[in-house]
Structure 1
Amino acid sequence: MYDKNIIIYPIYRFFINFRIIGPIHIPYLLFKGLNYSQIMLLQSIYSVSIFLFEVPTGSLADKVSRKFSLFLSGIFAALGLTLYIIFNSFLIFVLAEILFGIGLTLSSGADSALLYESLIKLNRKKDFQVIEGKSNYYLFLGHAFGSILSSFLYSYNKFLPFWLSTLSVLIGSIAAFFFIETDREKSKHNYTIHIFKSFKIAINTPRIVWALLYASFYGFIYRVGFWLYQPYFSTINIDVKWYGVIFFGFNIIAAWASKYLSPKIKDTRPRKVLLSLIMLMTLSFILPVIFISKFAIAFLALQQIVRSLYRPTMNFYINHQVEDKYRATVISMVSLAANLSFAILAPFVGMVLDYKGTIFTYIIVGIISLIGTIKLFLLRKKQKSLKEKMNAF
């Protein structure tokens, strides 16, 4: 019966994430009267809301129901989108970002945990990354064509991309009803003890500690990378009407990587893959500064390979380390680390962008990314060395 979850999973992932506002998000917020500092502050607030709700909603998925958590995800996202359509107030946008954050945390961890547990029941655990990759492939293809559609809709009516995205996440909520809850051991502890035990597992497992630190670096540089697209496009004089075409290309690259690279890396050690991905992120900030031109968009596209491979690799890595009753909560903790770093640093990036310009901002983020890559490599090497010494005794 768990075969049904394997069929529904890509459908759910597609609609709950098919928000086509990406190419026009910054122009839309500028149209609403915000500046870059306010835009980045909103993203910081979004990340803080994820920080506050990530673990509680992960616990809800572990202790109550994965299915119910996934259903609520689309409801909260739809409410946030609706506020952005109807109102023009910065404070209302703050509320919208909080609702977005809650919506994301309700699906974060719960969806991949449900897939992983279903595959275990079917003796297909090794297919996790491939299925995640295929799900991302369909999603990125949708985003590719949605990007062009978004630009056309935005030129006709600035609110249409938001309305279409609202409809999509509601369809995702409906799809969640068709999941079959996996037969698994649930935590018998109360909420506080469950969180404490999950946290204890995370900090006492060296591989998860490494994942938490990795997510902190990745969460900042990847999210910032997205918000720096439009300023870079402006720097090299690309008109907003071409944004949809560029995002189409970005999503095609992500879809290609999901379909063809995911199967190739499934037998590669996850930490090795993750280190390669963060190095690509570093190059995507450094090279556009060295070669400032329209051709530098090709370097920005490296981020799409990272985008397509990070989730299946990281979630497989974490799922493999944790037992069922703590799985969604621990995955949520890793996601929390990613959003906390962005929440802290995003406002500063907005100020640097407003006062120092795009190129200087790219240089700063590139340096942070490079330092993070080196630190993670050295920590991985140290952990492996300690493990070899312990095995020798």
Structure 2
Amino acid sequence: MQKSDAQRNVRLFGWFVILSEPLFWGPILISYIINIGKMSLPEIYFMESIVLLGVVFLEIPSGALADLIGRKKTIILGSILHTISIIVFSISDSPKEIWLANIIWMIGYSMQSGADVALLYDSLKEDGRETEYSKIIGGNLANRLLVITFSCLIAGWMFKVNPRLPLFLSTPTVLISTFLAFYFTEPLKTEKYNIKKQFEIMKAGLKIVLKNGKILWIIFFTLLISVASKIWFFTYNPYFELVELKIEYYGVMFSLLNITAWYFSRNAHIFVQKNNTQKCAFIIVLLVGVPVLLMGLFVSKISLLAILFQNVVRGFLTPFSSDLLNKQIGSSNRATVISIQSAFNGFAQFCSLSIFGYILKIYSLGFCMQILGLSVLLLGFIIILQYRRIFLGNSATKKNV
């Protein structure tokens, strides 16, 4: 691959990240599934847990497939399925159709996950700019958040006019992102696909993960925060209803959340440079655990401001964690290891969403959020205590990663 191709990949990837996200459905998705899809919140948690379990079984082979047939082809397949899932969501009016849309999304996500960031990193490496990965991925996510910030402003009013309208209008941009994927240039020479070779790559990737304490630490820390954030996200709409926030203001609230995430995603690389890994991890745990705990303790409109802190983490986590992980793995196994990370994350989300959905059937939303907040703080501090032993050994003077 020529340097010019690598540079074009980086530019296209920025647009791909922006357009692959449905622009209008974030503020109203759970309300849409509840009111149009006719599902309860515990049923939504159960559905998501099953879908994420499917991701667990698809992530590793799809990552190995990306290493074999190429990131580009895998991204294209995932993008096509992602577009189809949005269309099915937009015409659904029953739990069965919502399930179908989610299953299609599951397959598409598994195909695309890992392959996209691996393509970006390898393109930057080809251009001699891999040290800029954190800055570029953070900037791409920040640009997406900025676009979504403005689109969210009208999502609530669109939902009030017609609940399907936000989903219908989200489809064209996702379709454009699929077309963009065809213009990527494969950064690595790929091999002819065969089942035996695929499982060899999967096995090698698992060995790398299980034998490397640093990779395991990064995976488990990211897993905790992303799982907690996933559970928390699904409480947004029900919490809005609980404090009697009008539907037309859902989009305004999400705009505030997205502009917060945009700012911290945009500046994530600066924060990483000024603070060591352990300090960053400590701050992230506090910003997730404490606000959700307070929201559960004090159910009111004022408590909605606590969600802003979770979106600080939302903007910061991906550039922070993916940069750490990429420093620990080689290019030949990058997509596989990243997909293994996603598979671990999916299995943890399956367990956590199932448990949280079950607890919601018994206790109030506020009490369940208290449990979530305390769990994040306890588990987060346990993981952070392991950082010095794993990364620094017994030397107190050794420089942090």
TM-score, normalising length from structure 2?
A: 0.91
Q: How is 1:268-283 mapped onto 2 (pairs within 5 angstroms)?
A: 268-270=275-277, 272-283=279-290
Aligned to 1:22: 26
Aligned to 1:251: 258
Aligned to 2:13: 9
The separation in 2 between residues aligned to 1:385 and 1:336, in whole angstroms, is 27
Task: Note if 1:170 corresponds to 2:160.
Answer: no
Residue of structure 2 aligned with 1:383, choices 375, 378, 390: 390
Shift of 1:289: 3.2
Change (3 A) 1:274 1:169: farther
Shift of 1:33: 1.4
Task: Note if 1:292 corresponds to 2:302.
Answer: no
Task: Note if 1:139 corresponds to 2:144.
Answer: yes
Aligned to 1:114: 119
The separation in 2 between residues aligned to 1:23 and 1:45, in whole angstroms, is 23
Task: Indicate conservation of the 8 Å contact 1:14/1:135, yes or no.
Answer: yes
Q: How is 1:1-393 mapped onto 2 (pairs within 5 angstroms)?
A: 1=4, 2-31=6-35, 32-183=37-188, 190-266=197-273, 268-270=275-277, 272-384=279-391, 386=393, 388=395
Deviation sequence 1:36-84 (CA, Å, 0-9, x none): 1111112112211211211111112111111111112221112222222
Number of equivalenced pairs:
390
Deviation sequence 1:95-146 (CA, Å, 0-9, x none): 2212111222222111111111111122212211111111011100111112
Give the match's secondary structure for 2:244: coil
Q: Which has the higher helix share?
A: 1
The separation in 2 between residues aligned to 1:52 and 1:146, in whole angstroms, is 34
Task: Indicate conservation of the 8 Å contact 2:265/2:319, yes or no.
Answer: no
Q: Partner letter of residue 10 of structure 1?
A: G
Task: Indicate conservation of the 8 Å contact 1:219/1:341, yes or no.
Answer: no
The separation in 1 between residues aligned to 2:92 and 2:297, in whole angstroms, is 41
TM-score, normalising length from structure 1?
A: 0.93
Shift of 1:194: 0.8
The two structures, once aligned, show a CA RMSD in angstroms of: 2.1
The separation in 2 between residues aligned to 1:54 and 1:178, in whole angstroms, is 24
Give the match's secondary structure for 2:354: helix
The separation in 2 between residues aligned to 1:284 and 1:122, in whole angstroms, is 41
Task: Indicate conservation of the 8 Å contact 2:114/2:336, yes or no.
Answer: yes
Task: Indicate conservation of the 8 Å contact 1:45/1:98, yes or no.
Answer: no
Identity of aligned residues (%): 25
Give the match's secondary structure for 1:301: helix
Shift of 1:284: 2.0
The separation in 1 between residues aligned to 2:133 and 2:298, in whole angstroms, is 38
Deviation sequence 1:195-254 (CA, Å, 0-9, x none): 000000000111111122223312320100101112222222212221111001100111
Give the match's secondary structure for 1:179: coil
The separation in 2 between residues aligned to 1:292 and 1:90, in whole angstroms, is 30
Task: Indicate conservation of the 8 Å contact 1:147/1:245, yes or no.
Answer: yes
Deviation sequence 1:371-391 (CA, Å, 0-9, x none): 1111111221322454649x9
Q: Which moved more, 1:253-262 or 1:238-247?
A: 253-262
Task: Indicate conservation of the 8 Å contact 1:250/1:304, yes or no.
Answer: yes
Change (3 A) 1:181 1:266: farther
The separation in 1 between residues aligned to 2:306 and 2:140, in whole angstroms, is 25
Gaps of 5+ in 1: none
Change (3 A) 1:385 1:175: closer
Shift of 1:92: 3.0
Shift of 1:86: 2.6
Task: Indicate conservation of the 8 Å contact 2:9/2:123, yes or no.
Answer: yes
Task: Indicate conservation of the 8 Å contact 2:260/2:311, yes or no.
Answer: yes
Change (3 A) 1:185 1:266: farther
Change (3 A) 1:264 1:220: closer
